[in-house]
Amino acid sequence: MLTITLWDDPILSKVAEPIADSAFGPQLEAFGQDMIETMVTKKGVGLAGPQVGVSSRIFVMTFPDHEDRKPIVVVNPVLKLDGWFTYEREGCLSLPGLYEQVERRNDVIMQYFNPIGEPQERHVTKWDSRIAQHEFDHLNGIMFFDRMSRQMKKRLLKEWEETRGKAR
């Protein structure tokens, strides 16, 4: 299992590097499987490279809105956002135990590569769309609290500090 970086790690505020064509193949596939194992073990629905200390444009996600919840590995994604805006509570494995309302688009078309380099396209909606956008944000150095008002962000981070202090 991989170690998850917490919200204040500098890697989470950097734009991740694209994965080179030469990196596609069995090694990237194995890393993607390690990410999936970590995500599932930690009871998450998505996990991005920077969250495990790797500043590369890769994330994994599952599909809570579908019967087939089989996770996928998404490499070098491009997202096309569409649909109306919705507000829902989100959490993050890099800020465990805290949740807050975040505005996201309801529909997304994801264009990406699988770990062996085959181009993929997938249309996701509702909660699945939210997961894709959340993980894509991680690749761009954006945490979910960066999409909140300053007051909400301040309150959330204060709650984090209080929670961490109790855990010590």
Element (H, E) at 71: none
Q: In what order do the strands lie in the sheet with 46-48?
A: 46-48, 58-61, 72-92, 95-113, 119-125
Cα–Cα distance, 109 to 128 (Å, whole number):
11
- Cα–chain center distance at 124: 15
Per DSSP bridges, beta strands 58-61 and 46-48 are antiparallel
Cα–Cα distance, 110 to 163 (Å, whole number):
35
Element (H, E) at 69: none
- Known active-site residue 37: no
Q: Which of 37, 90, 135, 162 is catalytic?
A: 135
Catalytic residues: 135
